[in-house]
A and B are shown apart, each in its own frame.
Chain A
């Protein structure tokens, strides 16, 4: 369902997507499809140990083997030094840690960390050669649990890491990389005013984004010093910039080609194989291609952090929240930089709470270095808060949507970072949820061991802006070629092109959007943070305006009138009773020999925050512990839905991933830190057979910070499913499950303990 306002010609319509035919016919070219003449293959040797010192690496046997073309270790890369750099979607990162994550130097901090890489004529020869590399490890006991890692007497994983709090560093090494604190109001006074104060702890497991296409890279280091890279990523400028930093190579000599992407969800916003392939190529003078297998993806890339969280909340008997404490401890993995800061900023976003304190801890453990995963940090943190609210509602015997409406944040209310909300659609989304057929329907009877339950949960995500570039080139037949700098993940080429078409008053079919390489358009930030339709769309609108202004200038010459006398409306240029439609104007300007190219590099900073409500019905088999999802409805405020099918698709995808996070997905470790379920056979993601048709409701409260009212839509739908599912299960079986995933084993145990 879409509640469009009908004010637009193109925005809000459902045209055929520009990448649709290539994708459904299998012709679309993904990173993994890339190849070059003379290409050879690279493979990676990974650490079998979760924590170790590297005493030595002997590559002599591998280098002497006939089939081996080149071997690289950390010694083949520049010393990263002690500085920091801005990393794609990861904030500031230590250069040393970034470098070690790509290839280890003197230590191993997680199983799967890269030790060396080999190039050979075939994949199999390269794989075989890995066994000829001798590594002398001093194996150390791993630290796998976030609470254990925070203890004063815990083994220190990184001896150069000190806890930072507000820009000040502790004296002694610690596994706690950073302590975030956000506090407003008077929390103790808030608890004094409460009739009920409840405190509970919750946990979630480390989970992977689970994209279908594995990481890959093709690199060719040309003898003239130019490096060409093609890989599956969410931001080719970010890949270029990280390569430039790590390889100490000029950005102008690195060209990164875009490719279709088989899923990323935040996990493809940094380099893994690209620097290895580049240095191998530099050594042998031939293109080198590398592709991970699924096990390598699971153990060697950046999953979402597991978390341990404690929430304390005070409420009145009427259900008004008076104060809250939220403590979040996130597993960063083998190096610092979890998403706990975003978790802090989002955890109480849906609620208007004047008295709060939020503490976040970024904690190093011997697991893969975590990375962004769709609304990074928010699903874990908001699960804890929303699950406690469900427990409070049960205690107060209060309708959970009524509770949310009573406490809903709105324009002018305080955010965790101390700033105040701009116009938001939180209350409108709650009201839409109350009005759904799903919420108004009966749940149905539980029978025997099949117990039914319903849960609801809120979702909040910040959304991002930032730098984006677009170039609009007018063709003589009135069509427009649109170059835009954002890697297209969710079909954003179309949603960006639609904004340009809307501004120019031309059909979307007359716009062809293309994502060019890094040499062919100005810098554009990563496709992440739900920023692309907002920020790159903004750039496209500005490019369209620039193009229109140049057309007006050209037509002023053509008509021999002042430019000010020419008006433009709905694709038609007019002056003094004479008009040319867009196609006629393009032809006239071409005849005059004018080439029109509009361009923009924009950096909009008023991305509107977004909210969601999800409703889940489940049936729990108390005998087997299996949870079936009977019905699921997702609602969210999209601002203005530029291309509603993509918004609905994002909502459905977010639900599927969130349900997996809630029910089945988790990294399972042996005591020595080895992942025991590193394949899709054992790492259980939901399939279409596990989910019902997901009902979607798009709420549209336009963002005043965008010409067409856009808010980001891609991330918030993964936030509510964790709590919605946990709350529904609790409602079904009468027992609260506070540790996710609620796998059959967990559910069975909870039922047994309750009995």
Chain B
């Protein structure tokens, strides 16, 4: 089961939970199940079926950008990280 880390400002949508355990073979499956479980996360994470612009996914420490098709290990760790604004 993958461990999903919820960004601080989005924890209002997960009843304060900082991490959530979810089954999924790809990042998209994780996002789909996560937003199903916590509907208020939907608009914060997803825009028109894609990861919201300005967010990136880190899988097991590697930045995979917005590629929701990224395949996961059974015990993968996922982070949603705000893309850097340089100025």
Contact = CB atoms under 8 A, between A and B. Distances in A.
Nearest to B43: A167
A304 B61 CA distance: 30
Interface string A404-439: 000000000000011110100000000000000000
A69 interface: no
B83 A342 contact: no
Nearest to B10: A166
B9 A166 contact: yes
B74 interface: no
Residue of B45, B58, B62, B85 with most partner-chain A CB within 10 A: B85
A529 B87 CA distance: 12
A342 B63 contact: no
Contacts of A376: 84, 86-87
B5 A372 contact: no
Contacts of A422: 61
A266 B85 CA distance: 12
B83 to A, nearest CB: 5
Contact of B63 (A89, A338, A345, A605): A605
B7 interface: yes
A338 B85 contact: yes
B52 interface: yes
Given A417-B79, A605-B62, A605-B63, A338 B87 contact: yes
A168 B43 contact: yes
Contacts of B9: 165-168, 179-181
A184 B8 CA distance: 8
A166 B63 contact: no
B27 to A, nearest CB: 14
B83 A92 contact: yes
A283 B18 CA distance: 56
Given A92-B53, A166-B10, A183-B8, A418 B87 contact: no
B61 A341 contact: no
A345 B7 CA distance: 13
Given A166-B44, A419-B79, A528 B7 contact: no
B7 A91 contact: no
Band of interface residues on A? 35 or more
A339 interface: yes
B79 A89 contact: no
A26 B83 CA distance: 40
Contacts of B75: none
A419 B87 contact: no
Contact of A181 (B8, B55, B63): B8
Contacts of B53: 84, 86, 92
Contacts of B61: 419-420, 422
B86 A269 contact: yes
A91 B83 contact: yes
A304 B84 CA distance: 15
B55 to A, nearest CB: 8
B86 A371 contact: yes
Contacts of B85: 90-92, 337-342, 362
Contacts of B18: 184
B22 to A, nearest CB: 16
Interface in A305-338: 305, 337-338
A187 to B, nearest CB: 12
Contacts of A420: 61
A269 B54 CA distance: 18
B81 interface: yes
Contacts of A419: 58, 61, 79, 81
A399 B12 CA distance: 42
Given A167-B43, A167-B44, A422-B61, A341 B82 contact: yes
Interface string B57-87: 0100111110000000000000101111111
Interface of B: 5, 7-10, 12, 18, 43-45, 52-55, 58, 61-65, 79, 81-87
Interface of A: 84, 86, 89-92, 165-168, 179-184, 266, 269, 302, 304-305, 337-342, 345, 357, 362, 370-373, 376-377, 417-420, 422, 462, 465, 528-529, 605-606
16 contacts: A90-B85, A91-B54, A91-B86, A165-B9, A166-B7, A166-B12, A179-B9, A180-B9, A180-B82, A266-B87, A341-B82, A342-B86, A377-B87, A418-B7, A418-B79, A418-B81
